[in-house]
Structure 1
């Protein structure tokens, strides 16, 4: 295919008007002197002001390579050392140029031009605005003949380089592992979420919204994202972690946006506020759904414009920060109920990630044990490990479908801390595990009691109202009946489970009818309690 080369006129390297110029290495001329590379068309960029040099270079190219058509292109560049000016001019050119990759091979010569021009060409090639490879010329090393200059062609399609592709893939895996604290998690949903967050975090500064129950690690993940981006030199500022549930009343505005001296009673000195403290860094607003509507309005402006008014000030201040928000609430429902601004919700949920609770990641409990024990070792000043049988017993309970972890990984960490503290000689044994399991069961019963959940295993409003109207004796008996009904496939199955002994003694023959009559005493049906 015919070769088309794009190049800048070298106002210094290509210069020379005397006959001695043929003894000097001039990159643009040398490009057309290669015996094994015919240049069919040379698009020669210039900024004007060097008409005599441009004319001479074109004449010299025609002399040594008559088959080369030189097409001078003047670019409107006010300052050749201004990145925006140069990139804009080149970008405008490539968007208009009629590239035809089926009939022509395109090369971009990056030896001439300012360093700014070379960088802009490189970026445009990498982004495939130029569907081209790079060509670079250099003076001959072992010859005095300038027509023997060296030419190197570089393809920026990195996907063709298996070694580089493998290296990039390994680096990505390292970054994903970093976000997971090096824990070999097995939950496919969680792993896919973290893999995408890694890409988004390094490629975008758009707000990220992390949702999920309390204790799923939203704050830990936000800090890890900050540390990853700081390691990649994308942040130079601080990580500011704010729990919005702790911001109340008039102090919320001041805490977030700062205030000027004397703006309210007690404002003895100016305060910068959390948004200003997060400049060139990351602001994590946990439980963002707890903010008042006024704070939400000011936050929206600060996110969009990176400017805001401190309390009591008529002068705006600026702060460039990235926002990560966290919540356990259903913000979409809060928007419908008027508790959260629709425009702010739309602005912060471009990247929305829901972190699953521990009950949905039971396969990740075991990988987290060693990580948590390492963290606990820093607190206690000693290393603690499980005995093999003790670990097996603990995992059997922890991973059981009936075990509830209301506080998710926060509860798991607390459980391990208790066992590690009470362990003798740095080993958690079966006695430690047995005591801890009983403690967890007792805590579970206490929490359920506080929530109005009883042996029936539910807190349905209809049941709670009925329970308050009947005698304690009936409460206990009916709660157990409801629990069995919920676990049974149908009325007959529930009757068989409830009246096993009666069936053996043949006192009653119709278990389903007996259960139906029992429920009717409370004006209930099997289908009704099954839904509780």
Structure 2
């Protein structure tokens, strides 16, 4: 059997007692020698001998009395401030590093019932990091203190499965937090998911400004709101979520809207106005399209960020506001700095945590889960279940994932498209004819009312949608060459110019004729179209 060794701090309160009455009181360090099912071979008692030598001596003597076979060693451990985390950790770390551990011969425990909460946390960190090669030992008093019962003890092994389950709870919570940032959408794009993981970490740990870049409709506003919701859940922001689109701020009203004004500051200022920065005190301020903000407003904002104070319009007394800022923009702010339209010092302040949200077309994998999300949202808001039939769903996704779908308005376009389909759906079922009609709307929206691709014209929209993207791109280019050529041979010579140069002879017209036939097309039909 290995020897059992306990390292423990002297309990200056719990271990303290004097006279014969001390045996009626439960003392955690003394109780270690009274358990029949825990054999204490050696006790390493850590105490500030300058201040508590008498108490340490009394505890050591009483422990030796109840457990004569135990070897009790006292160590002078001076803590200048028992509540200074860094100082306490340093002292305990030095003790552990200097101790002659022999894990092949001895099992080690650290008694965490005594000592300050700071020392208990430090012992936990040392054990969890394996700098202390042992387990945690916790003792508790009996229900009735009569000096005869040692109370109870529990050995906490940080490798036990139940503590793995605790770690699993933390992991599950982090996944829940990331789902919150994604509005519960099971996104599939790896780069986007990695970005959300980091934003979750930063949002939880930092109050520094965050800059969200990306095209209009990429979801910057929604993500800022989700960051606020996450921090609110964790009780980090007791204040409000305040949002403003800086592109709507013009002239003198911009200063007043952001920083407030006092009564009489200008004509029409009939009462004091707090302004958005003060309204966001202890909350989150989202300034969308911050690149549209004027230079004067930028200077005021920079001071408010750095000093948490600013002057309202017309005021001579500063006001305070402590808020977290998230800024959004679809501009290249670095280019705006070079053009003199954005302050370099403000950009430096905002550029600590910068994330670019990709457009919907850059996240093709996420079109389908976002389509489902939009359908669910419409169904929930209107209390009516709406679904695609199989053919309609396949047709819509084929178009949505094709090169023809630009999604220039990003998620706003998708949301509007689903809303139109769901509204027009009879009996909550979206049919193929509705999808074809919606595809026409989207084409007109993105490419103009007369824009119809050559493929759709010749093959029909449905047949064209069944082609792989590779075939669509290739065939579209072939049709373009055919339509500007005077003959099948001329089109063939242009299309097969490289390969024919490496051959003694080549029938380019026949090669082109066979290629078109694969798609049910011929030269006359292509030229007529």
Offset of residue 379 of structure 1: 5.3
Does the C-alpha gap of structure 1 residues 308 and 510 become closer, same or farther in structure 2, counting only changes over 3 Å? closer
With 494-503 and 63-72 compared, the bigger mean Cα shift is at 494-503
Separation in structure 2 between the aligned mates of residue 96 and residue 337 of structure 1, nearest angstrom: 57
Offset of residue 96 of structure 1: 5.9
Separation in structure 2 between the aligned mates of residue 287 and residue 17 of structure 1, nearest angstrom: 71
Does the C-alpha gap of structure 1 residues 298 and 54 become closer, same or farther in structure 2, counting only changes over 3 Å? farther
Offset of residue 331 of structure 1: 1.7
Does the C-alpha gap of structure 1 residues 205 and 6 become closer, same or farther in structure 2, counting only changes over 3 Å? farther
Residue of structure 2 equivalent to 1:226? 228
Does the C-alpha gap of structure 1 residues 180 and 503 become closer, same or farther in structure 2, counting only changes over 3 Å? same
Q: Indicate conservation of the 8 Å contact 1:209/1:351, yes or no.
A: yes
Residue of structure 2 equivalent to 1:335? 337
Q: Deviation digits for residues 19-41 of structure 1, max 9, x if unmatched?
A: 33234321233346666233452
Note if 1:70 corresponds to 2:74: yes
Residue of structure 1 equivalent to 2:27? 26
Offset of residue 88 of structure 1: 5.8
Offset of residue 134 of structure 1: 3.6
Which secondary structure state, in structure 2, belongs to the residue aligned with residue 71 of structure 1? Answer: strand
With 360-369 and 103-112 compared, the bigger mean Cα shift is at 103-112
Note if 1:349 corresponds to 2:347: no
With 63-72 and 245-254 compared, the bigger mean Cα shift is at 63-72
Separation in structure 2 between the aligned mates of residue 140 and residue 121 of structure 1, nearest angstrom: 24
* Count of matched residue positions in the alignment of Structure 1 and Structure 2: 464
Q: Deviation digits for residues 51-96 of structure 1, max 9, x if unmatched?
A: 654553355456667732223444344xx8xxxx554653564476
Q: Indicate conservation of the 8 Å contact 1:211/1:327, yes or no.
A: yes
Q: Indicate conservation of the 8 Å contact 2:211/2:354, yes or no.
A: yes
Residue of structure 1 equivalent to 2:466? none
Separation in structure 1 between the aligned mates of residue 24 and residue 491 of structure 2, nearest angstrom: 119
Does the C-alpha gap of structure 1 residues 112 and 143 become closer, same or farther in structure 2, counting only changes over 3 Å? closer
Does the C-alpha gap of structure 1 residues 336 and 325 become closer, same or farther in structure 2, counting only changes over 3 Å? same
Q: Indicate conservation of the 8 Å contact 1:2/1:103, yes or no.
A: no
Note if 1:36 corresponds to 2:72: no
CA-based RMSD: 3.8
Q: Indicate conservation of the 8 Å contact 1:260/1:270, yes or no.
A: yes
Note if 1:307 corresponds to 2:309: yes
Gaps of 5+ in 1: 456-486, 514-532
Separation in structure 1 between the aligned mates of residue 191 and residue 257 of structure 2, nearest angstrom: 36
Separation in structure 1 between the aligned mates of residue 216 and residue 394 of structure 2, nearest angstrom: 27
Q: Deviation digits for residues 84-113 of structure 1, max 9, x if unmatched?
A: x55465356447656247727875544335
Which secondary structure state, in structure 2, belongs to the residue aligned with residue 271 of structure 1? Answer: coil
Which secondary structure state, in structure 1, belongs to the residue aligned with residue 71 of structure 2? Answer: coil
Does the C-alpha gap of structure 1 residues 139 and 194 become closer, same or farther in structure 2, counting only changes over 3 Å? same
Separation in structure 1 between the aligned mates of residue 491 and residue 408 of structure 2, nearest angstrom: 44
Q: Indicate conservation of the 8 Å contact 1:219/1:286, yes or no.
A: yes
Q: Indicate conservation of the 8 Å contact 2:387/2:428, yes or no.
A: yes
Does the C-alpha gap of structure 1 residues 110 and 512 become closer, same or farther in structure 2, counting only changes over 3 Å? closer
Separation in structure 1 between the aligned mates of residue 257 and residue 94 of structure 2, nearest angstrom: 51
Separation in structure 1 between the aligned mates of residue 216 and residue 397 of structure 2, nearest angstrom: 22
Does the C-alpha gap of structure 1 residues 323 and 108 become closer, same or farther in structure 2, counting only changes over 3 Å? farther
Separation in structure 2 between the aligned mates of residue 395 and residue 509 of structure 1, nearest angstrom: 37
Separation in structure 1 between the aligned mates of residue 362 and residue 215 of structure 2, nearest angstrom: 11
Separation in structure 2 between the aligned mates of residue 150 and residue 379 of structure 1, nearest angstrom: 56
Which secondary structure state, in structure 1, belongs to the residue aligned with residue 261 of structure 2? Answer: coil
Does the C-alpha gap of structure 1 residues 101 and 273 become closer, same or farther in structure 2, counting only changes over 3 Å? farther
Residue of structure 2 equivalent to 1:136? 138
Offset of residue 307 of structure 1: 2.8
Give runs of aligned pairs for residues 493-512 of structure 1, distance below 5 A: 497=482, 500-504=485-489
Q: TM-score, normalised by structure 1?
A: 0.75
Offset of residue 410 of structure 1: 0.3
Residue of structure 2 equivalent to 1:241? 243
Note if 1:432 corresponds to 2:428: no
Q: Indicate conservation of the 8 Å contact 1:495/1:512, yes or no.
A: no
Does the C-alpha gap of structure 1 residues 233 and 47 become closer, same or farther in structure 2, counting only changes over 3 Å? farther
Residue of structure 2 equivalent to 1:389? 391
